[in-house]
């Protein structure tokens, strides 16, 4: 039979099976979906053997000639499995060189946000570390520098890499963090380390993918699928294998969408991909793309800052081992989590082996007669034992499906994968269970229909034009490049946009734009149109045996249980039964409390205050090492108490790059010296300058018995986060001026600034802000002491309690799989409908930001729409009443913190001016909310807050409004200082969105001495 030269071959190399499919995409609408041939066989230790067998078998059976094949696309879980299983045979030891001042080194280097040097790199220091690395026989090195993604002048990572190449033996792998991820030091470094650890194994694996294609005489390009369902060249995959980590589940879900076509995708569908060892479960949106994780993602407990499909896995598959366990308590059946894996056809009873598996149970039940020899399993289990096994399988699947739900409503469940035969035809929580034809090779189908993408990463001058105009031009160029690479122009969409202003180069910014689209199957020569994505030819003599990675299926899965599920918390806690430790009106903070407080602090931060994450991690480690943190009520303060204030000062965009050092305690020690010199007393208590963001954690770090050993006051000076010290409640009360003097500031690099006298708090802010710009835009500050009586009058009270309750509400929504209603849960903790409301829901479609005088100015544009069941960045799916409620666009201007939520025209993409420029661009009628009310943007997929420095194109968000404390709204002075006038929006007037409800004190509620 003659075929057009546009057939697509898709191969998925899983841990258990290698699946293949040959697809004619022009016939996708026909009954057979254009599937010409398919194949499933156990994965071989050397993947090239399995790939060769799959392609050869399919081409022979269907009569397909080599010239008929336009491309071969391969997906794999090899790399992510190596990381999740922590397989030392496939992971390389990694050395890390931090240009930041099994081996790591902190070396001189790094930039400030304005491009000035923290320190230049030290060649001799790098060479010395290379000698140490060589002595340890480490051959994978990560180089990570502060602000390296915007380092286009000093090129510190590149220069350090050149030195390492000279100093290290040949054959070492060097990974530059800036090539792997963008701003966010810890997350970028994490991703670079994972990438480096897998590089050696990845090269051999990718080579084993290419070999069979070339040996079979196929002249077409070979692609590897990425996390987002698009393709990348083989050489790129070998250099950045981390971009393929989640391609397996993505392929399965994309293949599932293809199989159900227009018949099933009018609503979200839960896809359960049952393999030989595990079941991977994810939510397929109505637009045909999998739901993504939040702004941050976790892999095997490692936090990274790029999105991946939201997939959860359990140890249940077609090869899961079934056992009869007998003990003094009686006899019971168990299923998994260990599996015979790819040895199913040798070890399962139905195939003549001696290990009872779930597949054997399925055959024994009579559900299928097409697998093995049914006579071999007869009598192996009693009817009661078989029923028990089937119940266990059902319960495992129902539990993981319920875990992945975001609302209690039933929804369709689509079963795919070679092990789908073990699943029952009905499941609790499923409106229907669908087992489509060819579901066993859905992952290979997903690989075959993978999309094309193109990325533009460039630095452009904004002199004589605007960043928005440049961005439009670059987006158009990205679309053209994607079309040139083989995509159909009608399907191409912009899926990623990021603008990084280069503060140290006048009028220049770094633009990162990525477009993606479906293949244009109407083109005759797909090989030509895909040439720009083709991998480099591999040296046929450089093949390395994969046999060194041989391992038995049982060894890989024994004692493993369920695969690790991303979890940023301290472990499962029964929220309804949990009681914090409060004795004698002192609240002793533990890890659970800390996790909830950190989550709540970020929401109360209204976009600013910096991410609590690094500070939460630091305090968590302190607690694990025995530190004690005590929180007390402001009601219990003695009138003459000396309350010291601590917190960070600077830009949130800087805080995600410059990790904490000793700047906070350094500033406190300097302040204590000044106060003592002036005849004052030392501190008796500690309080945070603001509860919002990372600063909300600082009082607890400073107050820990291992640092200053001070009780921490359950209050703060803002009830939220504000960008300036004069926007604090003591300044509003104006009982004495200045309040914040003396003051001390430290950058943690040996530079300290102090002020012993100043005319006003505004002047103190201006002077410190000027110094801040010369200290890297990120410092620790200690403000003049306040008495206990003043604290009672001025502070916003019980804000640590409020953060704890908000964080608990978010965690409860997750535990009960009700993330869809997380906004309502947060609102309930803030006084209900009286004190808070949902202001907007939708997708971020535009972000502008710049840094001036230590502040991050900008605005975020959000397109309205339903955020439940609509995660792919190409489209939203407005449905029901909210289709009318959130239509159009709003903008959120910010100065570190969010200032307002303001309606804008539907074609609005962003103002050329930024917040504070004084140019009126909106009217009072456009306003949905304004400061001092709290405006918080939370991730619709996780309920976690998103900081202004983390806003990015495509994120689905919920905008919450929370009524400000009456410390702000009770007087006109408070409104003038904390309201729109305080941010340069003199043309707008504050109107409260609700009434403030004072938070309930955790100490009052849970004190055990009462």
Q: How many CA atoms lie within 13 A of 614 on its CB side?
A: 19
pLDDT at 789: 97
**Two structure tokens written together for 851:** 């840094």
**Residue 248 pLDDT:** 78
Across the range 210-226, mean pLDDT stands at 84
Distances (CA, A) of 266 to 263, 710, 869: 8, 58, 11
- What does pLDDT average to over the chain? 83
Percent residues over pLDDT 70 in the chain = 83
Q: What confidence tier does 350 reach under pLDDT thresholds 50, 70, 90? A: very high
Q: Is the pLDDT of residue 862 over 70?
A: yes
Main-chain phi, psi angles of 352, to 5 degrees: 95, 5
Question: What does the pLDDT average to over 159-184?
Answer: 90
Tokens coding 204 = 């051999």
871 or 949, which is more confident? 949
Query: Average pLDDT of 359-387?
Result: 88
At 596-612, the pLDDT tens digits run 999 999 999 999 888 89
Higher pLDDT pick, 753 / 262:
753
- CA 312 – CA 271 distance, rounded (Å): 11
Segment 667-706, tens digit of pLDDT: 999 999 999 999 888 999 999 999 999 999 999 999 999 9
Q: Residue ranges of the domains in the chain?
A: 452-518, 835-983
Q: What is the pLDDT of residue 1?
A: 53
Q: pLDDT tens digits for 239-275?
A: 888 888 777 778 888 888 888 875 655 678 899 988 8
Asked if 694 contacts 654 with a C-beta cutoff of 8 angstroms, the reply is: no
Q: Per-residue pLDDT tens for 230-249?
A: 888 778 888 888 888 777 77
Q: What is the pLDDT of residue 883?
A: 46
Q: What share of the chain is helix, strand, coil (3-state, %, to 5)?
A: 35, 25, 40
pTM: 0.71
Q: Which of 480-489, 514-523, 813-822 tops mean pLDDT? A: 480-489
Residue 591: what pLDDT?
96
CA distance 932 to 942: 26
Q: How confident is the model at residue 518 (pLDDT cuts 50, 70, 90)?
A: confident
Tell me the three state secondary structure of residue 518: coil
Residue 135 has pLDDT above 70, yes or no: yes
Provide the pLDDT confidence category of residue 985 given band limits of 50, 70 and 90: very high
Higher pLDDT, 618 or 228: 618
Q: Taking 90 as the threshold, does the pLDDT of residue 477 lie above it?
A: yes
The single-letter DSSP state of residue 611 is -
Predicted local confidence at residue 877, as pLDDT: 37
Q: Characterize 350-389 residue by residue with b for buried, 16 or more Cβ atoms within 10 angstroms of its Cβ, and e for exposed.
A: bbebebbbbbbbbbbbeeeeebbeeebbeeebeeebbebb
Backbone φ and ψ for 481, nearest 5 degrees, come out as: -65, -35
Helix (H) or strand (E) holding 698: helix 695-703
Strand boundaries in 261-318, DSSP class E: 269-274, 279-284, 297-299, 302-304, 312-314
What pLDDT does residue 238 have? 84
For the segment 94-111, what is each residue's pLDDT rounded down to a tens digit?
Answer: 777 765 544 556 777 777
pLDDT in tens, 303-334: 777 667 777 778 888 989 999 877 666 678 88
Residue 554 to residue 546: CA distance in whole angstroms: 19
Mean pLDDT of 752-769: 91
Question: 898 is written with which tokens?
Answer: 């969010």
Q: How confident is the model at residue 852 (pLDDT cuts 50, 70, 90)?
A: low
Flag whether pLDDT at 543 surpasses 50. no
Write down the pLDDT at residue 298. Answer: 67
Q: Inform me whether the pLDDT recorded for 552 exceeds 70.
A: no
* pLDDT for res 538: 43
In terms of Cβ atoms closer than 10 Å to its own Cβ (0-12, 13-18, 19+), residue 892 is buried
Position 344 scores a pLDDT of 86
Q: Is it the case that residue 983 has pLDDT exceeding 70?
A: yes
Is 412 within 8 Å of 431 (Cβ atoms)? Answer: yes
So what's the pLDDT on residue 632? Answer: 98
> How much is the pLDDT for 582?
97
Distance between CA 527 and CA 520 in Å, rounded? 12
pLDDT at position 103 is 54
Q: What's the burial of 460, exposed, middle or buried (CB within 10 Å: 0-12/13-18/19+)?
A: middle
- Which among 749, 746, 770, 748 has a CA at the least distance from the CA of 758? 770
**Rg of the Cα trace of the chain?**
30
Greatest mean pLDDT range, 226-240, 277-291, 890-904: 890-904
Q: How confident is the model at residue 436 (pLDDT cuts 50, 70, 90)?
A: confident
**Tens digit of each residue's pLDDT (9 = 90 or more) over 21-37:** 998 888 887 888 889 99
């Amino acid at each position: 039979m003659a075929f057009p030269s546009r057939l697509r071959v898709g191969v998925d190399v899983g841990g258990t099976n290698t699946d293949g499919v040959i697809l004619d995409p022009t016939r996708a609408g026909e009954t057979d979906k254009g599937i010409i041939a398919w194949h499933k066989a156990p994965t071989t230790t050397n993947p090239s053997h399995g790939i060769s067998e799959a392609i050869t078998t399919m081409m022979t059976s269907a009569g397909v000639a080599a010239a008929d094949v336009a491309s071969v696309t391969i997906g794999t879980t090899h790399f992510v499995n190596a990381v999740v299983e922590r397989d030392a045979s496939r992971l390389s030891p990694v050395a890390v060189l931090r240009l930041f001042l099994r081996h790591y080194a902190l070396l001189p280097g790094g930039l400030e946000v304005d491009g000035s040097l923290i320190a230049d790199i030290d060649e001799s220091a790098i060479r010395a570390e290379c000698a140490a690395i060589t002595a340890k026989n480490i051959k994978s090195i990560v180089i990570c520098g502060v602000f390296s993604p915007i380092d286009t002048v000093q090129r510190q990572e590149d220069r350090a890499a050149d030195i390492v190449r000279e100093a290290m033996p040949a054959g070492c792998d060097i990974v530059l963090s800036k090539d792997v991820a963008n701003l966010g030091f810890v997350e970028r470094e994490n991703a670079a380390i994972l990438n480096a650890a897998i590089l050696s194994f990845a090269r051999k694996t990718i080579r084993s993918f290419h070999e069979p294609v070339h040996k079979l005489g196929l002249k077409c390009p070979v692609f590897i699928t990425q996390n987002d369902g698009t393709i990348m060249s083989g050489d790129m995959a070998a250099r950045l294998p981390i971009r393929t980590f989640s391609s397996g589940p993505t392929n399965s879900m994309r293949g599932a969408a293809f199989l159900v076509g227009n018949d099933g995708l009018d609503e979200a569908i839960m896809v359960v991909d049952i393999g030989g060892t595990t079941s991977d479960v994810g939510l397929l949106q109505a637009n045909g793309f999998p739901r993504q994780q939040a702004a941050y993602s976790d892999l095997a407990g490692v936090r990274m800052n790029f999105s991946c499909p939201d997939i959860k896995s359990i140890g249940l598959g077609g090869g899961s081992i079934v056992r009869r366990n007998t003990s003094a308590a009686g006899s019971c059946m168990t299923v998994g989590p260990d599996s015979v894996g790819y040895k199913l056809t040798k070890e399962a009873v139905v195939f003549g082996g001696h290990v009872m598996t779930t597949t054997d149970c399925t055959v024994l039940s009579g559900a299928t007669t097409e697998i093995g020899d049914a006579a071999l399993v007869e009598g192996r289990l009693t009817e009661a034992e078989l029923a028990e096994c089937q119940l266990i399988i059902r319960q495992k699947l129902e539990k993981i499906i319920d875990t992945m739900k975001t609302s209690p409503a039933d929804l369709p469940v689509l079963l795919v994968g070679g092990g789908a035969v073990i699943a029952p035809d009905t499941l609790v929580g499923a409106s229907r269970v669908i087992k489509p034809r060819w579901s066993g090779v859905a992952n290979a189908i997903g690989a075959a229909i993978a999309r094309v993408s193109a990325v533009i990463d460039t630095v452009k001058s904004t002199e004589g034009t605007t960043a928005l105009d440049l961005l439009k031009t670059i987006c158009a160029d990205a679309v053209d490049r994607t079309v040139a690479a083989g995509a159909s122009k009608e399907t191409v969409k912009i899926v990623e946009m990021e603008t990084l202003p280069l503060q140290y180069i006048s009028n220049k910014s770094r633009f990162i734009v990525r477009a993606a689209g479906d293949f244009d199957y109407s083109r005759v020569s797909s090989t030509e149109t895909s040439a720009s994505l083709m991998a480099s030819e591999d040296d046929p003599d450089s093949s390395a045996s994969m046999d060194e990675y041989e391992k038995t299926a049982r060894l890989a899965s024994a004692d493993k249980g369920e695969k690790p599920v991303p979890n940023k918390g301290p472990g499962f806690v029964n929220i309804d039964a949990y009681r914090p430790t409060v004795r004698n009106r002192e609240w002793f903070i533990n890890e659970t409390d800390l996790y909830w407080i950190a989550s709540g602090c970020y929401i109360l931060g209204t976009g600013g205050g910096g991410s609590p994450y690094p500070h939460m991690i630091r305090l968590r480690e302190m607690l694990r090492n025995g530190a004690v943190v005590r929180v007390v009520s402001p009601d219990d303060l003695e009138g003459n108490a000396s309350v010291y204030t601590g917190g960070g000062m600077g830009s949130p965009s800087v805080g995600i790059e410059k990790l904490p050092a000793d700047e906070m305690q350094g500033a406190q020690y300097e302040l204590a010296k000044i106060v003592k010199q002036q005849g004052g007393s030392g501190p008796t208590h500690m309080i945070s300058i603001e509860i919002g963001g990372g600063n909300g954690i600082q009082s607890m770090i400073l107050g820990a018995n291992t640092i200053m050993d001070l009780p921490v006051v359950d209050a703060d000076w803002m009830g939220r986060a504000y960008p300036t010290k004069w926007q604090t409640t003591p300044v509003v009360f104006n009982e004495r001026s200045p309040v914040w003097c003396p003051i001390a500031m430290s950058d943690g690099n040996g530079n300290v600034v102090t002020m012993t006298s100043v005319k006003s708090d505004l002047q103190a802010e201006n002077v410190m802000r000027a110094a801040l710009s010369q200290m890297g835009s990120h410092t620790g500050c200690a403000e003049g002491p306040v008495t206990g009586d003043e604290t009672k009058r001025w502070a916003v009270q019980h804000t640590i309690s409020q953060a704890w309750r908000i964080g608990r509400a978010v965690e409860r929504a997750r535990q009960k799989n009700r993330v869809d209603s997380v906004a309502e849960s947060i609102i309930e903790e803030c006084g209900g409908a009286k004190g808070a409301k949902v202001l907007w829901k939708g997708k971020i479609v535009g972000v502008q930001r710049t840094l001036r005088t230590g502040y991050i100015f900008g605005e975020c544009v959000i397109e309205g729409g339903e955020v439940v069941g609509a995660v792919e960045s190409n489209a939203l799916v407005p449905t029901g009443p909210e289709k009318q409620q959130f239509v159009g666009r709003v903008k959120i201007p910010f100065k570190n913190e969010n200032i307002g939520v303001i309606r804008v025209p539907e074609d609005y993409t962003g103002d050329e001016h930024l917040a504070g420029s004084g140019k009126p661009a909106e009217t009072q009628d456009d306003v949905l909310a304004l400061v001092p009310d709290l405006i918080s943007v939370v991730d619709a997929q996780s309920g976690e807050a998103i900081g202004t420095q983390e806003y990015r194109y495509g994120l689905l968000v919920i905008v919450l409004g929370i009524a400000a404390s009456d410390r702000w709204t009770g007087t006109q002075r408070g409104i003038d200082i904390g309201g729109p006038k305080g941010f340069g929006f003199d043309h707008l007037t504050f109107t409260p969105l609700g009434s403030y409800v004072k938070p309930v004190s955790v100490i009052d509620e849970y004190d055990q001495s009462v």
